[in-house]
Amino acid sequence: MITFLFGAGASYGSGKTIPYNPPLGNDLYDNLASQKGKFGKLSAKSRKVFQLQGFEAGMATLANDNRLINPLQKEIACYLSKFKITPENAYVRLFNKIQKLMPDINIVTLNYDTLIEQAIATVGYAVDYNGTGKGITILKPHGSSNFLPRMPEGFNMNGNVMVGCGTFVDGLPTDAVSTNQEVIQWCNDPRNSDLSPALAMYEKGKRVVVNSSLINNIQKQFGNVAIDSKLIVLVGIKYIEHDTHIWKVLEESSATLLVVDPYPQDTINWLSAINRRDAEVISLGFESAVWEITKRIKRYACNVK
């Protein structure tokens, strides 16, 4: 089994995207603040930390209060669900080149955007978020901008105050929608005022405040996929030591690792620390590496037949 694991560097480096490429973490705050919403109205202290120390550090300055966190999570979802692929995008080019192999490939992405889902649709496949075999498996261990919890019919939940909770709300059904317009409409619906899309907070620990059991289950599925994989291709993944739910799983997998990253030194250091000498590193951005990835995927597929 072959598994792709895409990180923020993949979408950022995927080439032509509308209106532009999703930003890396270092630029995410400024992009969100420019939308003139809640991020732009945070305290001067928090804004300074976001800008000088990074997004995760900035999130750590915020009170654990649903009245603050949910609106921010909604802004992230509305922003990151707006990006659209073009035919020249690297996801589209890659999936076109390996189209016949796609049913035998699992895709895992840490990104909240939906560029991969759009690219899969362009090559004629359905998306299967649950790994049931009814399409191309996409696992999103950090959740997604389009994972929208659904309130039971006739049930309203608003005006509640939740402070200091690990999770605000859990156990709701979740709909995976297709468009930015649907995400915006859901976020603006007063019935969802106490909710936010099921996506991890971009902070140390990647806490999930709504439907955490769903994301926990996806992370367990990722662990199973990694164990069953013979080749794992890491594209645009930044090594972050405290993200053990990703890197510990990779360390424990016996799969051959292929790393695609224009700045791979942190990952190379990790590979050395865990004695993974069989890994291959392609020091290119995603857009430039499509053909190199394709060659290795096809070669591997031929060798295992």
- pLDDT tens-digit readout, 185-224: 999 999 999 999 999 999 888 999 999 999 999 999 999 9
Quote the number of domains for the chain: 1
Structural domain of residue 156, as residue ranges?
Answer: 1-305
- Spatial neighbors of 178 by CB under 8 A, at least 6 apart, are 114, 117, 146
Chain centroid, CA 145 distance in Å: 9
Say how far apart CA 143 and CA 208 lie, in whole Å.
8
| Model confidence band, residue 71 (pLDDT cutoffs 50, 70, 90) | very high
CA dist., res. 254 & res. 64, Å (int): 39
| pTM of the full structure | 0.95
pLDDT, tens only, 110-148: 999 999 999 999 999 999 998 888 899 999 999 999 999
Q: Quickly count helices (H) and strands (E) in the chain.
A: 12, 11
Q: Mean pLDDT across the stretch 68-96?
A: 97
CB 215 within 8 A of CB 198: yes
Q: Please, are residues 100 and 302 in contact by the beta-carbon 8 Å criterion?
A: no
